[in-house]
Amino acid sequence: MARLTGKVALVTGAAQGIGAAYAMALAKEGAAVCVSDIRLPEATRDAIVAAGGQALAVAADVTSPESVATMVAEAVLRFGSADILVNNAGLFGNLTLKPFDQIASSEWDAVMAVNVRGTFECTRAVVPQMRSQGHGKIINIASGTVFKGSPMMLHYVTSKAAIVGFTRALARELGGEGIRVNCIAPGLVMSDNVRVNPAWAADVVANNVASRAIKREAQPDDLIGTLIYLSAPDSDFLTGQTIVVDGGSVMH
């Protein structure tokens, strides 16, 4: 039996790349999946259904409390519960590397709105349903850059450092209610957006790979084992933790 049979998962930022890979993997393990993105992620939904899974596609703006409340309501109406939330939506792949004093205030605010407040809004929307069930798994997405102090993207690194603190504090608030809150911190993953972004030219990627104990590029599928572990009953005694998945560039 698949490890997530009977569970319902919600994945934000699931139209492509890592988010789509997360959604496909959860469905493969038996979960019914609500996939969402700023635009309707029909391709991800269709791929899950074509592979024999259950999926619902919802257009949702993670910075809008009304929009994410509708997302959760549609998932519960369609599938009957909300057991897993993967807070994957974020701004990264389209950002350019630049000194901190060249980051426009508007760009700073946009990164914080999506990466930090978006995680807050989606979590706040789903927790009432998880409380009513007496269980739930919230999986946030940070970044290995937090532990490196990576330069030239201060807004992104700051936003992902906030997610580590968010995970720890929320885990203590919700632990007594059967809701586990954990975090994955990927290294540089060669998603579609990263591959086409000139900021991640060959030298940057090569230097990143050179810093790893496992010296190869990371692919979205490299994150799946950790995702499924944090979603499944195997991790029921784990909360408040951030697991770095980057081939051993960061060790903490």
Residue 150 belongs to some domain of the structure:
yes
Catalytic, out of 120, 156, 166, 200: 156
What's the pLDDT score for residue 48?
Answer: 98
**pLDDT value at residue 192:** 76
Provide the number of structural domains found in the chain: 1
**167, 174 contact by CB (below 8 A):** no
78 part of a folded domain: yes
Structure tokens at 170: 């929320």
Q: Please state the rounded mean pLDDT for residues 197-218.
A: 86
Residue 151 lies in a domain: yes
Question: Is 1 contained in some domain?
Answer: no
Q: Which position has the higher pLDDT, 97 or 197?
A: 97
For residue 201, the enclosing domain spans 8-245
* pLDDT at 199 > cutoff 80: no
Output the pLDDT for position 1. Answer: 66
Q: Bridge partners of 86?
A: 11, 139
172 found inside a domain: yes
Please, is 170 exposed, middle or buried when counting C-beta atoms within 10 Å of its C-beta (0-12, 13-18, 19+)? buried
Q: Is residue 2 part of a domain?
A: no
Classify residue 251: in a domain, yes or no: no
Does residue 22 carry a catalytic annotation? no
Residue 94 has pLDDT above 80, yes or no: yes
pLDDT for 69 = 98
252 assigned to some structural domain: no
Q: For residue 213, report the phi and psi dihedrals to the nearest 5 degrees.
A: -70, -35
Tell me the average pLDDT across 121-135.
Answer: 98
Give the domain CATH number at 21: 3.40.50.720
